[in-house]
Amino acid sequence: MKKRLLAAGLAGAMALSLTACGAKEETAATTAAPAATEAAKEAATEAAPAADDAKVVVFWYDESDVYLGSVRDAMNKEFEALGITPDNQFAANNQSTQIDQINTAIAGGADILVVNQVTSGASDTAEDIIAAAGDIPVLFFNRAIGTDGSDVAVLEANSTIAFIGTDAPAAGHMQGKMIGDYAVANFDAIDLNKDGSISYAMFKGDEANVEAIYRTQYGLEDANAVLEAAGKPALVYFDAANTDCYQVDQGGAWSAAAAKEYMDTNFVSYNEANGNMIELIICNNDGMAEGAIASLQEKGYNTGDGHVVPVFGVDATDNAKALIAEGAMTGTIKQDAQGMAAAVAQSAKAIVDGTAPAEALAGLKDERFSLDAECASKLYVAYAPYTGE
Amino acid sequence: MANPVKNMQRTIAEYKQMSAKDQKRFLTDLVLNNALYILMAIFVIYTAVKQENFLTLGSFANLITQVAAYLPLALGIAGCIVLTGTDLSAGRAVGLTAAIAGVFLQKSDFANKMFQNLPEVSTGWIIVTLFAVVAIGAVIGLVNGFFVAKFSLHPFIVTLSTQLITYGIILWFFALNGNNGQPISGLSREYKDFVGGAMFRLGGVAVPRYVLYAVILTALMWFIWNKTTFGKNMFAVGSNAEAAKVSGVNVFMTTVLVHTLAGAMYGYAGFIEGVRAGSVAASTGLNAECDAIAACVIGGVSFVGGTGKISGIILGVFVLRIIFVALTMLGVDSSSLYIIKGAIILCACALDMRKYLVKK
């Protein structure tokens, strides 16, 4: 009898979880309905959000990405202001899952697919998505759909698609210049062992991601260019045996954990006592910078008093801003989450209302946005250096 | 058994003879034993009411396409579960074989082609590649099976090790020839057509060729499981390895072969995976074994060992895919998806174990 009760209870719990999801759907529908009548009343006033039953499905590569989390918050609000309830889907960093989600959304009658592609830099995958979508417009954002110009060919061949992102090399250039300027100004303070050169560590977010590759390359190259111009020696990678000159998150998740683990391991043989301490840290994103700082702080550095090893990131997440305010982190590059969200939401709205994607992008009037010089269906959201308010 | 109608009539006749108390118990058992089907039916009806696009031909085509993609891995891993084991290396084996198949079958004029002097892609070369990756998958399975059988190691440990080793090889492979971990892209048109070319359209949605391949593989696995000595030995070893040994079954060979067969299935899964995603990345195949194992246990392939049916595995894969498609269409967020998936696996296994507990 007991066993039967247990089984019945389990079955009941399952049924409950199913209806629980249903309830959520219903509330969404009921909140949309009054909004619709309201909109009809206030149709004359432009500010009132007109309820829109357009089916906007947003596909995110992963739910746990910190920067995209802030983009998502902002984007949900932007869509809400436009009277659209977006359907957010998460692919858990798996391209096949995302393809399944996209096919299912197409079968479910989506009006626009807003895609944060998992396999960044594979234009074939983008072409498959576009082919599956047929007449349904596809708005790619954040993660580049092709390397070295192969995305432009795809964008120009398809009139139903557009891309909103950042100019991938720009963040690297900007970070490199920031590091160079900082190193020139504070050279002797950074050079802990006074050997006349600064040894650095580089943490790469993902081996295959275009942004990660450019940031890793230009973050260093541009910094060295600034140092050279000022007559200072170039940065030296701390581990002479590592010819890659970076350590990469092998899970491709740009994670703090990966950077922390690398730093903890690096500390075993590279520390102040041995006179070969890492003196400057460059990270592809703020998540990895946080991990590196956590490791430094465990060893007594970057805690407010005592020596601060300069750590640089990209994204300007809230955590990174807080670390910069505390003095534990030196600088980051602001990747404008709000701007990205606004650009995506507004152009998605224009596209479902019948505007061609390229025109929708051109219609965005904001100083934060700029169209690619060669391709009209590619929009960039500007970066900005950030070293504290 | 042979005649379902007669069977049903007999059951009804038996039911009428029972006392009131027995009748009640009979009905409760009936509901609990079929709880999964009943819940799925409710779920499907609910979704269909909420989302008119759910019960369309196009949606069905989408569903069977997904089932066909996930089925081979589940069919492979099921053998390991029948032996009371598991296989954690399946996902990475898919990743490695997908990468190798991708590199073998890149477009000849593709700028980032990893190996320039491979032959032009033709049907013959595609089939050579298919056999090559199936063989590579089989080798991974062989290593698993050998260590499990030879040293009596738990498959969890062995396959955890091969999972890590395989991932290491994947990372190394992706760094070859200046590729620097870039995704393998530029798959040739012939390869894409061979795997994902449309056979016909249902409600405007193309049904790819790998649906047919999945049907063929399922028939093959059904034959192996039910009609061969090897299949019968597998169930004997899974139920009771000692008893099987005493009855003259070569337990070592059976274990090795079950894992090798599973590995061959991973190789095939890898062969279609690259085309499905459009490109292969180092993370391809990550955690694929979790869905496969879940499908098996939902379908009644029990970790108790020695039990399981091919039809059950198909059912399990269908259940998981229906949940995915329906919840995606309903716009339910992914956190609930995981919770529901977990709850269903738990319920299915609890209900499954109930049968054994009642017997005792």
Domain ranges of chain A: 2-165+336-382, 169-335
- Selecting from A8, A14, A147 the residue whose C-beta is nearest the C-beta of B343 gives A14
Instruction: Identify the H or E element spanning A113.
Output: strand A112-115
- The domain A2-165+336-382 belongs to what CATH superfamily? Response regulator (3.40.50.2300)
Cβ density class A267-301: b for 16+ within 10 Å, e for less: beebebeeebbbbbbbbbbbbbbbbbbbbbeeeeb
B349 interaction partners in chain A (CB closer than 8 Å): none
ipTM: 0.76
A129 interaction partners in chain B (CB closer than 8 Å): 278
Nearest-by-CA chain A residue for B107: A124
Contact A13 B351 (CB under 8 A): no
Instruction: Identify the H or E element spanning B4.
Output: helix B4-17
Contact A96 B277 (CB under 8 A): yes
Nearest-by-CA chain A residue for B286: A94
The CA-based angle A79-A83-A84, given to 5 degrees, is 55
- Note whether B278 and B104 are within 8 A (CB): no
A100 interaction partners in chain B (CB closer than 8 Å): 66, 69, 324, 328
Q: What is the pLDDT of residues B246-270, one digit of tens each?
A: 999 999 999 999 999 999 999 999 9
Contact B174 A208 (CB under 8 A): yes
Contact A6 B350 (CB under 8 A): yes
Contact B281 A95 (CB under 8 A): yes
> What is the reported pLDDT for B107?
86
The arrangement of secondary structure in A169-335, i.e. its CATH architecture, is: 3-Layer(aba) Sandwich (3.40)
Measure the CA–CA gap between B88 and A228, rounded to whole angstroms.
Answer: 51
Our CA-based measurement puts residue A276 at a distance from the nearest CA of chain B, in whole angstroms, of: 28
Instruction: Identify the H or E element spanning A168.
Output: helix A168-185
Q: Which pLDDT tens digits describe chain B residue by residue (360 residues)?
A: 457 778 888 888 888 888 888 888 888 888 887 788 888 888 889 988 988 888 888 888 989 999 999 999 999 999 999 999 999 999 999 999 999 999 999 988 777 788 888 888 889 999 999 999 999 999 999 999 999 999 999 999 999 999 999 999 998 898 887 776 777 888 898 999 999 888 888 887 889 999 999 999 999 999 999 999 999 999 999 999 999 999 999 999 999 999 999 999 999 999 999 898 888 888 888 889 999 999 999 988 988 888 999 999 999 999 999 988 888 888 777 778 888 889 888 888 888 777 777 655
Q: Which pLDDT tens digits describe chain A residue by residue (389 residues)?
A: 444 444 544 444 454 444 444 444 433 444 444 444 444 444 434 444 556 788 999 999 988 877 888 899 899 999 999 999 999 999 988 899 999 999 999 998 899 999 999 987 778 899 999 999 999 999 999 988 887 677 888 998 999 999 998 887 889 999 999 999 999 999 999 999 999 999 999 999 988 888 899 999 999 999 999 999 999 999 999 988 888 899 998 778 888 888 998 998 888 888 888 889 999 999 999 989 999 999 999 888 998 778 999 999 998 888 888 899 989 999 999 988 889 999 999 999 999 999 999 999 988 878 888 888 888 899 999 898 898 86
Contact B62 A105 (CB under 8 A): no
Nearest-by-CA chain B residue for A208: B182
Question: Is the pTM higher than 0.80?
Answer: no
Our CA-based measurement puts residue B289 at a distance from the nearest CA of chain A, in whole angstroms, of: 13
Query: Which residues does A67 contact at the CB level (< 8 Å), separation at least 6?
Result: A285, A286, A287, A315, A317, A335, A337
B350 interaction partners in chain A (CB closer than 8 Å): 6-7, 10
Fold identical between A2-165+336-382 and A169-335? yes
B interface mutation test: which of A5, A18, A85, A125 has the most B CBs within 10 A? A18
Our CA-based measurement puts residue A190 at a distance from the nearest CA of chain B, in whole angstroms, of: 31
- Selecting from B185, B346, B347 the residue whose C-beta is nearest the C-beta of A122 gives B185
Contact B328 A99 (CB under 8 A): no
A207 interaction partners in chain B (CB closer than 8 Å): 171, 174-175, 180-182, 282
B40 interaction partners in chain A (CB closer than 8 Å): none
Nearest-by-CA chain B residue for A88: B333
Measure the CA–CA gap between B252 and B275, rounded to whole angstroms.
Answer: 36
A7 interaction partners in chain B (CB closer than 8 Å): 32, 35, 350-351, 354
| A-B C-beta contacts closer than 8 Å | 168
At A351, the amino acid letter reads I
A interface mutation test: which of B24, B167, B169, B182 has the most A CBs within 10 A? B182
Strand partners, A311: A281
> What is the reported pLDDT for A105?
93
- Note whether B112 and B285 are within 8 A (CB): no
